[in-house]
Amino acid sequence: MQVFAAMSERMGPVEAGAHARRVEAMGYDGLLVPEAVHDGLLVAMAALSATRRIRVATSVLVAFPRSPMTTAVAAWDLQASSAGRFELGLGTQVRGNLVGRFSTPWLPPVARMRDYVASLRAIFHSFQTGEPLDHAGEFYRFDRLQPFFNPGPLDCGAPPIQLAAVGPDMTRLAGEIADGLMTHPTNSAPDYLAEVVRPRVEEGAARASRSPDDCPITAAGFVATGADDEAVARSRDEIRRQFAFLFSTPAYWKSIEHAGFSDLGSDLRALAKLGRWNEMEARVPHELIERLVPSGRYDEIARVLIDHYCGQIPRITFPLPDDPARDTEVAALITSLRAT
């Protein structure tokens, strides 16, 4: 099992290098870089430049405000500068942010992502082979790449393309065309992965006559852990606060409905619309955290995660300790997880 760390959305390029070096020193396989407050590509560059071994993946880059060509050029440079350690994770964003925050037209996201990935693959192919660029899709057309603008081939090859997916159609699309699927904290519970996510990946893979293993899943879920029971409880409380915000968005409701909490999403959404943010956390039942979040002290969490994910998911995320004095303890835990 591969174990990745994640980076806070508040960390930018200035902090990324030290954080990535710490992740590498602790024995993690890689680092997931978000894009929320900072530019994901710039943060990925800082993390890659500071390390020599770990893989760095955007988790996830907001695709549609960027032309596939600008994304391809940046991803190619990151892959080249890191000798093949970069992974391009892409996401769609919700409609409100895409239109209001990025001033980008809302178009059918699954079909658009299919064309976006096809565009990237066509561009990567021209970069690698020097063959003419010729892509004509539903949303994107690329038919001009003069030799002057071609960065040329890479010995390590093009970066893998992973997709973030929550809904059924995007999950199937990942199974069909992507090099991997990144889950969201709201859809990473082991039973939901086994009963909902994995079958959809299999359906998508079947459409392309390929194996589901061609689209390995990264379970980027929350883990409530710490050195003692009090630390675990604090972690669970923080996750509860984050779930209160996340589950006010209808796109994430399927997983709580699957867990048996069908009314929670609409209750949280109503409070959010009224601006009653401080009341939302109390509405999230502790039983939901039990269902969705692996929990345990450092001396027991490895066994919990192995029981939850081993044999089903090839890559998981695990949080760095808040206190660097615990790094050696957690490094041993990471070693035990990687050995499964």
Is the alpha carbon torsion for 337, 59, 216, 126 positive or negative? Answer: negative
Q: Are residues 135 and 266 in the same domain?
A: no
Whether 114 and 140 share a structural domain: yes
Q: Identify the CATH number of the domain in which residue 25 sits.
A: 3.20.20.30
Predicted confidence (pLDDT) at residue 192 exceeds the cutoff of 90? yes
The answer on 284 and 172 residing in a single domain is no
Residue 331 pLDDT greater than 90, yes or no: yes
Domain identity same for 100 and 131? yes
Q: What is the pLDDT of residue 153?
A: 98
**What value does the mean pLDDT of the chain take?**
96
Query: Phi and psi (nearest 5°) for 111?
Result: -65, -40
pLDDT of residue 47: 98
Percent of the chain at pLDDT > 70 equals 100
The predicted structure's pLDDT at residue 306: 93
Does 308 score more than 90 pLDDT?
A: no
Strands (E), the chain: 2-6, 30-33, 55-58, 61-62, 86-91, 135-136, 141-142, 161-164, 180-182, 217-219, 224-226, 295-297, 315-317
Give me Rg for the CA atoms of the chain.
20
What residues are paired with 13 via a beta bridge? none
Query: What is the C-alpha separation between 70 and 59, in angstroms, rounded?
Result: 18
**pLDDT in the model for residue 340:** 86
Find the angle CA(169)-CA(175)-CA(177) to the nearest 5 degrees.
100
Domain count, the chain: 2
Taking residues 68-73, what's their average pLDDT?
98
Q: How far apart are CA 221 and CA 6, in angstroms?
A: 10
Per-residue model confidence (pLDDT) at position 60:
94
Looking at the structure, do residues 204 and 90 belong to the same domain, yes or no?
Answer: yes
How many residues comprise the chain?
Answer: 340
Task: State whether 206 and 276 are in the same domain.
Answer: no
Render 168-237 in DSSP notation, one character per residue.
Answer: HHHHHHHHHH-SEEE--GGG--HHHIIIIIHHHHHHHHHHTT--GGGSPEEE----EEESSHHHHHHHHH
**Rounded Cα–Cα distance for residues 2 and 114 (Å):** 27
Say what the pLDDT of residue 144 is: 97
Residues 139 and 260 in one domain: no
Model pLDDT for residues 42-67, shown as the tens digit of each residue: 999 999 999 999 999 999 999 999 99
Q: Inform me whether the pLDDT recorded for 174 exceeds 90.
A: yes
* Residue 99 identity (one-letter amino acid): V
Domain assignment of residue 232, given as a range: 227-293
The encoded tokens of residue 54 equal 């770990």
> Which residue's structure tokens are 């699927």?
181
Distances, alpha carbon 134 to alpha carbons 84, 155, 340, in Å = 25, 23, 44
143 with 218, same domain: the answer is: yes
205 and 157 both lie in a single domain: yes
Residue 27, sorted as left (phi over 0), alpha (psi -120 to 50) or beta, turns out to be left
User: Cα(326)–Cα(227) distance, rounded to whole angstroms?
Assistant: 8
pLDDT score at 312: 84
Q: Over the stretch 148-167, which tens digit does the pLDDT of each residue have?
A: 999 999 999 999 999 999 99
Tell me the percentage of the chain whose pLDDT exceeds 90: 96
Answer whether 87's CB lies under 8 Å from 61's CB. no
Q: Is the pLDDT of residue 320 over 90?
A: yes
Measured between alpha carbons, how far is 65 from 25 in angstroms, rounded to an integer? 35
Same domain, 60 and 181: yes
- Global confidence as pTM: 0.94
Q: Are residues 244 and 283 in the same domain?
A: yes
- Does residue 94 have a pLDDT over 90? no
The pLDDT value given to residue 163:
98
Is residue 123 domain-shared with residue 236, that is, in the same domain? Answer: no
φ and ψ at residue 178, rounded to 5 degrees: -95, 165
| 295 has pLDDT over 90 | yes
Give the C-alpha separation, 255 to 233, whole Å. Answer: 23
In which band, very low, low, confident or very high, does the pLDDT at 195 lie, cut at 50, 70 and 90? very high
